[in-house]
Amino acid sequence: MSSLSGRRIVLGVAGGIAAYKAVEVCRRMVDAGAHVSVIMTEDAHRFVGPVTFSALSSEKVHTSLWDDDSSIPHTRLGQAADLMIVAPATARVLSAYATGYSADLLVATLIATRAPVIVCPAMHTEMWEHPSVQDNLAVLRARGVHVVDPESGRLAGGDSGAGRLASPESIVAAATAVLGTARDMEGLHVLVTAGGTREPIDAVRVIANRSSGKQGYAVAAVAAERGARVTLVSTVEIPAPAGVDVVCVETAEQMKTAVDRVAPTADVVVMAAAVADFRPVRAAGGKLKKRDGAPEIILEATPDILAGLGESKRPGQVLVGFAAETDNLEANALDKLRRKNLDMVVANDVSAPGVGFGHDTNAVTIWLSTGDRKSVHLASKRAVAVALLDSVVQVRG
């Protein structure tokens, strides 16, 4: 049975072109057995008619603090909800929610509820990247609000970029995960690494890789939701998931120092970071000048953090490695699993469309040291994180 079955969900629809996708979100949740109450802002009516939602949802659409059957609709809806979702969440709604400016029924209900809240931002790239929007999202994340980040792709007006509302499948999956999340990692300390290390060539140039850190952050967020105490060692500047302690690093050596400090007390270590294999033997103190010709860069191996963790792994500790490959996926993954004394390896073919570095989606195969395997076909990185942590719980017994 779906975790949505029998649950009361308030779906807020704000005024953006992506409001049409909320129709499909509503339909899917009703089909899964949820009781869905829809709140539309006044501007949302310009994109989708309320009759559409009234026909598909579980009750008549709610639109105003003053024209509802209840004298206090925001309180009634907020108290009855098991979950609130805002899709699309516009810049205005995010700002109002973050600052408590409850001038309409949707924001008043968001403030009146104690249920979990998922916001699904959608707006043009320039708006999505504006510091005020990102600051408001950081505030909401810190308060425990779940954010389903927008996707990159074709936008209204014909151009492309970040800001497109996440797919209905991803939004419903997030709702299912939030309502179905078991607190099965209570009392555990989980260490996660994320991002790609940067090894200096000179004062301004580095050797780096394409890792965005999104998969590691998804693992950290889901582990925290499942009750774990989470330490995230990161090289990227992404707002921290709610309840997660972040240690910022840049180089492989710095990451090793941070990991070695935390790992001895961790019950689970997930090395999702893409650690550089090589670094310059000597970095120039200043900026190298093009007029001086191409420099000779001599490389040396960086410390193998994962192998070191495998050598020092204590009984009961679960060690998870990642293998980003472009060929011979299974052979390379199983070799890493054995050679580095891992309990689990998560492998993906980063040459495949939509997989791995920089994408919001991933497709992986998880191999366990017991010989078990699990495949996750192209899905959100959150879905991959859920599958990974399910396997961790399985290994711990």
Q: What is the pLDDT of residues 51-95, one digit of tens each?
A: 999 999 999 999 998 877 777 899 999 999 999 999 999 999 999
* Angle (nearest 5°) at CA 169 between 272 and 96: 85
Q: What is the mean pLDDT of residues 267-290?
A: 96
Q: Kindly indicate the confidence band of residue 187, based on its pLDDT and cuts at 50, 70 and 90.
A: very high
pTM of the model: 0.67
8-180 has CATH 3.40.50.1950 classification:
yes
189-396 has CATH 3.40.190.10 classification:
no
Whether the CB-CB separation of 284 and 295 falls below 8 Å is answered with yes
Whether the CB-CB separation of 39 and 97 falls below 8 Å is answered with no
Angle of the 105-112 helix axis to the 91-99 helix axis, nearest 10:
40
| Element containing residue 339 per DSSP (H, E) | helix 329-339
Query: What's the rounded Cα separation, in Å, for the pair 325 and 351?
Result: 8
Res 1 pLDDT > 50: no
| Residues tagged active-site | 209
Q: Do domains 8-180 and 189-396 have the same CATH topology?
A: yes
* pLDDT > 70: percent of the chain: 99
The closest of 100, 367, 311, 142 to 239, measured between CA atoms, is: 142
**Per-residue DSSP letter, 239:** P
Query: What's the rounded Cα separation, in Å, for the pair 253 and 233?
Result: 12
Listed in sequence order, the residues at least 6 apart from 293 whose beta carbon sits closer than 8 Å to its beta carbon are none
Q: What residues pair up with 269 in beta bridges, in sequence order? A: 191, 319
Distances (CA, A) of 35 to 32, 58, 344: 9, 6, 39
CA-CA-CA-CA torsion sign (332, 262, 361, 132): negative
More confident residue, 157 or 34: 34
* Angle (nearest 5°) at CA 318 between 187 and 213: 90
Query: What's the rounded Cα separation, in Å, for the pair 134 and 155?
Result: 19
Query: What's the rounded Cα separation, in Å, for the pair 204 and 287?
Result: 6
List pLDDT tens digits, range 352-373: 988 988 888 899 999 999 999 9
Diameter over CA atoms, the chain? 77
- pLDDT, residue 358, reads 83
How much is the mean pLDDT over the chain? 93
User: β-strands 318-325, 344-349: how paired?
Assistant: parallel
Indicate the range of 119-133, 361-375, 377-391 predicted with least confidence: 377-391
Three-state DSSP state, 140: helix
Helices (H), 35-130: 50-56, 73-80, 91-99, 105-112, 125-128
Q: What is the mean pLDDT of residues 239-243?
A: 80
Query: What's the rounded Cα separation, in Å, for the pair 105 and 39?
Result: 7
Domain boundaries, the chain: 8-180, 189-396
